[in-house]
Structure 1
Amino acid sequence: MGTPAIVIASAHHADVLAEAFGRYDREYDVRVVGDEVAATATAKELTGSGKQVALFVVDTDHDQDRLYALIGGTRKVVPTARRLIVTHVSRFRDDNRTFRHAVAAGKVDALLLMPQGPRDEEFHGAVGELLNEWNATVAAPVIESVRIITPEKDALTRELLDYLGRVGMPAGVHHPDSEIGRAVLEQCPEDEGRWPVVSSMVGWCGHCPSVRALANQLYGRPDDIEVDEVVDLVVVGAGPAGLAASVYASSEGLSTICLEAEAIGGQAGTSSMIRNYLGFPRGISGMRLAQRARGQALRFGTRFFTGWPATGLTPAVDGGPHVVHTDGGDVHARAVLVATGVNYRRLGVDSLEELVGRGVYYGAAMAAARELAGDHVVVVGGGNSAGQAAIHAARFASSVTIVVRRPDLTATMSSYLIDEIEWNPRITVRGSSRVVDGGPDDVGQLAWLDVEDVTTGEHERVEARGLFLLLGAAPECGWLPDVVLRDERGFVLTGRDIPSEQWVEDVPPEDLATTVPGIYAGGDIRAGSMKRVASATGEGASVVSSVHAWLGQ
């Protein structure tokens, strides 16, 4: 691919911007042009020669109509590039009002004040975030933390790539006959022929039969914990609620262990860009948010064990500890937070279940979106996760259709996402519809879907190479004992939602307390939760005061 490019379009401040972006010259091909025609021509020249454009920087000194033409033109030529508007200090206040909607609607990724002098690190910090996001979601990794060796990119290989993307580990797939493939197989020749073979920077090399096996190798198993140790708090689930609880509990001196069945971050980790999370005005990907929270928790002393789901919970007896069971060992704790979140519901169409991993994916599957360049993609679901998945897929696919049973998205999706979807010319919303069938091509990959109009019953067959299913919440708490009460849908009851006959002396339990003293629930698994990242984070943080009070009894 060669060195990725940064294209700067400025009619009157090209010298200022060229000087500011001089620090990127060593690692990016920085091009400075004067107008929208030259910017589009430069982008076409770069892509035609096999180079990628990582970032377009556009000065607001252009006429507004020409400016929007430039932004739209760059999106058509290079939809995967990030777009940054910069404005001179003399126009910043007016431009901020003028272009605020463009940022909110996703027409551009950020609006920044032009650098006022050398070492404007506020400006370069924002540029760095945009380039970091592009490198994580678009560019092939320069340094591969994990290498996957396989003759074909099968469903398991795609699952491994998706998992590694969610935990922020750059990975590459290589054929056994390639130079890298041969070098890896020399480390573990006994595994050749048992694909995929995985090699990681930590020194492990061998056949990898599942995502769980990879997680165990990367993060360890719960049976590494000393069996005689009783910790203050075990957090089951490392989504936003579990991560927040881990940070606040360990920072306040509680010995804390966090168990995660799959990837740190849970479903939130699959979000390509969360734009309404407090404190991140330019947005943050779910993966970045999760990895920062994990690093924060580790810094305070939380121990993480990934790849072993909880299989049972034995409540405390006679003042003893609660015991969380996994196939890899037991964890004893004085308090437990259940934060296992939810899974996406299955579609229930047999023909499509057979194609999972071969064009059909549950969740956003961000790594898979890269392989769908130029294809039509269908996203099923009306929540924020579905909206974020559609916007991410539209950077690669030629067109994206959101299929939702409701007439539109207004009842289930945040307004800022709806605005971004309405503006994006590659995304279409198909309301009052559902996917009822699908089938493969000659090589076994998804090729077509049947979509039904739920009001008329009419069917339409559409070509589609990707189907992303984000179908709502199915709680992950079958491992809990019956004494931890749940509602009719399987979500854990807490606080005043617990039936009054379970209250002690007619006093309801605390807001996040379950029917078992010392066991709490937070995040999406809790009955009545908001199913939003920020609310889950708040619940995870607030439960720590209750845990302190319980341990002090």
Structure 2
Amino acid sequence: MPVSPSIVLVSEHHLDDLRGSFRRYEHEYDVRCTRSCAEADAEAEAVVEAGGTVALFVSDSVLPDCHVLEGFHRWRARVPNARRIIAAHWDRFIADAPGLRAGMAKGKYDAYLLMPRGTRDEEFHNAVTDLLSDWGSTIADPEVVSAKIVTPVPGPETLAIHDFYDRIGMPVRVYHPDELAEHRLDLGIPEDPTYPVVWASNRPLIEAATVRKVAMSMYGAPSDLEVVDGTVDVAVVGGGPAGLAAAVYATSEGLSCVVLESEALGGQAGTSSMIRNYLGFPRGISGMRLAQRARNQALRFGTQFVTGWSVDELVPGRDGAPHRLCTEGGDIRARAVVIASGVAYRKLRVEPLEQLVGNGVFYGAAMTAAREMEDQDVFVVGGGNSAGQAAVHLSRFARSVTILVRRPSLEETMSQYLVGEIEYNPRISVQTCTRVVDGGGDAHLQWLCLEDTRTGERTRRDAYGLFLLLGAEPTCTWVPPQVSLDENGFVLTGRDVPRDHWVDGVPPADLATTVPGVFAAGDVRSGSMKRVAAASGEGASVVSLVHKFLAPPED
């Protein structure tokens, strides 16, 4: 019988109020009540020693034996992955807020809430369930499983498939074939399959599974799409924030729309463990959840999605003919095209480490791999927000996380809220003016060689994980030469378009390219801000340009 995860309540004077509010959770969680920081610490220790875990600490704003933020610091050391809430009593909520809210920006706790005054305070419980859901998405073995990966020897491909399912919000577990021997026929697994095998609810079994095969199984092929008259109003290439926003606004305004994404919906943003500066989400939101909400919103309005198929070529239409997007799974014809294919992380180009990709070396946040870093020393290379978010997430599992940057500091490239959170986190350190020049290990990463960019001095460090978030390279190899790119391969739009493409001395619209009816939004666009909110804004804004392009000419 699995041990239920625990919720620890802490209050000296208002414990009965808190206990009453959490009765609804007692069926599925082990709710423990304490009156001080020391008692809560002892309860958490007992839970961990018994093989359990604490999902959530909920504390009054005032504790008898220490400051509440010191309490959270101690509990975080005990259970790094637990979520943390201050539930201030209504007599102290306003008075205590100014001194405590700043700690939330630094990641010292996750939410500052008013303690419920009675039953059915759904605003309070909405925050609680959001945080419990966020916690549940980071644990290794979810209770509810929507997909099963079966393999005798997990390898890099297994990890990549697991990470794909994590990015799209489908609970998944890895099983040895012996664990499912009795259920093999029920699952449709043949006698001598080619591993890994992937089973998912209401989908055909996949043998010799790869990320691409799994992605392709989600929505079928482009040739399977139901398109009126064979042509959609707008095709969006890329399912990140810009592409999803374009889809939501296009279909909500009556345009037919198809989104093509070669991997998981959400793009790079979908790998972010927690985005705290996105408008409207004061407690933050994971990139995965943001992407899934946007996808569901787009589906509601009628957007069609295709994943797992890369666009090989864009053939611009001539004389009013539709544009054509070519894939191995069929072509899509569209009156307008939005390029929102985003960017990929730059390669480190240190050959011994490239050989270990998937075995301790990862490009991107690799959310699944973070769980395998428990009690290990890991390194994150990169100075942007994605690197900072990855480091914070890794610190919930790893013994130590070292951020490596070539610049003298993080302040130039990272949002201040993340810089503050990193400074506060005792498991994270920052090593500036440093680059990775070598590394290796026996089938798995074991060490790195780091070079000081100022002195040239090299040091060898033990390492179990290396996460590379090295800036951006646009994914535009499929874009035709008629679409102008800058010297780094990003799509030029608006006034940045070469003057010889201006019409009567007037540049294209801000998000329009050099090809009529082809637009660009998000990180792939030259001069873009490289922030989730900015990409979403561009995706929404481009729809008005699409409408204008598709409108019949005035007499």
Partner of 1:241: 242
Contact map agreement 2:198 2:209 (CA 8 A) in 1: no
AA in 1 matched with 2:268:
Q
* Aligned-partner residue type, residue 312 of structure 1: E
Does the 8 Å CA contact 2:189/2:205 hold for their aligned counterparts?
no
**1: distance between equivalents of 2:35 and 2:253?**
55
Which residue of 1 is the match for residue 488 of structure 2? 489
Partner residue, 2:20: 19
SS at match of 2:19: helix
**Cα distance in structure 2, aligned partners of 1:249 and 1:66:** 51
Measured in 1, the distance between the counterparts of 2:226 and 2:473 equals 34
**Match of 1:159?**
160
Deviation at 1:282, TM superposition (A): 0.2
Which structure 2 segments of 5+ residues have no match? none
Shift of 1:415: 0.3
Aligned counterpart, 2:465: 466
Query: Partner of 2:434 in structure 1?
Result: 433
**Secondary structure of 1:177 counterpart:** helix
SS in 1 for 2:236: strand
SS at match of 1:112: strand
1:368-395 deviation line (CA, Å, top 9, x unaligned): 1011110001000000000000000000
Kept after mapping to 1: 8 A contact 2:12/2:64: no
Shift, 1:453, TM fit:
0.6
Matches within 5 A, 1:105-504: 105-138=106-139, 140-178=141-179, 180=180, 182-184=182-184, 187-190=187-190, 192-225=192-225, 228-441=229-442, 444-504=443-503
Matched, 1:54 2:25: no
Where in structure 1 are there 5+ consecutive unaligned residues?
none
Change (3 A) 1:293 1:184: farther
Could you tell me which amino acid in structure 1 is paired with residue 407 of structure 2?
R
Superposed displacement of residue 190, structure 1: 3.7
Change beyond 3 A, Cα 1:181–1:305: farther
| Counterpart secondary structure, 2:357 | coil
Alignment of 1:76-87 (within 5 A): 76-87=77-88
Output the aligned Cα RMSD.
1.2
Partners of 2:471 and 2:185 in 1: CA distance? 42
CA distance 1:341–1:529, shift in 2 (3 Å) = same
Larger displacement relative to structure 2 (203-212 or 35-44): 203-212
8 Å CA contact 2:436–2:449 kept in 1: the answer is yes
Kept in 2, the 8 Å contact 1:9–1:59? The answer is: yes
CA contact (8 A) 1:145 1:169 kept: yes
Contact 1:250 1:302 in 2 (8 A): yes
- CA–CA distance in structure 2, aligned partners of residues 101 and 191 of structure 1: 59
Q: TM-score, normalised by structure 2?
A: 0.97
The alpha-carbon deviation at position 193 of structure 1 amounts to 4.4
**What's the offset of the Cα at 1:69?**
2.6
Aligned-pair CA distance for 1:226: 5.0
Show CA shifts across 1:419-467 (max 9, x none): 00000000000000011111113xx111111111111111111111111
> 1:219 and 1:56 mapped to 2: Cα distance?
40
Looking at structure 2, the residues matched to 211 and 337 of structure 1 have their Cα atoms a distance apart, in angstroms, of 25
| 1:520 is aligned to 2:519 | yes
User: CA offset at residue 318 of structure 1?
Assistant: 1.7
Question: Could you tell me how far apart the structure 2 residues matched to 1:358 and 1:337 are?
Answer: 36
- Residue 191 of structure 1 and its aligned partner are, at CA, apart by 6.8
**Among the aligned pairs, what percent are the same residue?**
56
Alignment CA distance shift 1:187-1:28 (3 Å): closer
Q: Any idea what SS the aligned residue of 2:206 has?
A: strand
How high is the TM-score relative to the length of structure 1? 0.98
Tell me the secondary structure at the aligned position of residue 178 of structure 2: coil
Task: For residue 434 of structure 1, give the secondary structure of its aligned residue in structure 2.
Answer: strand
Q: Who is 2:541 aligned against?
A: 542
- Of 137-146 and 417-426, more deviation after overlay is shown by 137-146
Counterpart code for 2:428: I
In 1, Cα distance between equivalents of 2:65 and 2:526: 49
SS at match of 1:372: coil
CA contact (8 A) 1:176 1:182 kept: no
Q: Distance in 2 between matches of 1:30 and 1:189?
A: 40
Amino acid in structure 2 at the alignment position of 1:476: T
Are the counterparts in 2 of residues 185 and 192 from structure 1 also a CA contact under 8 Å? Answer: no
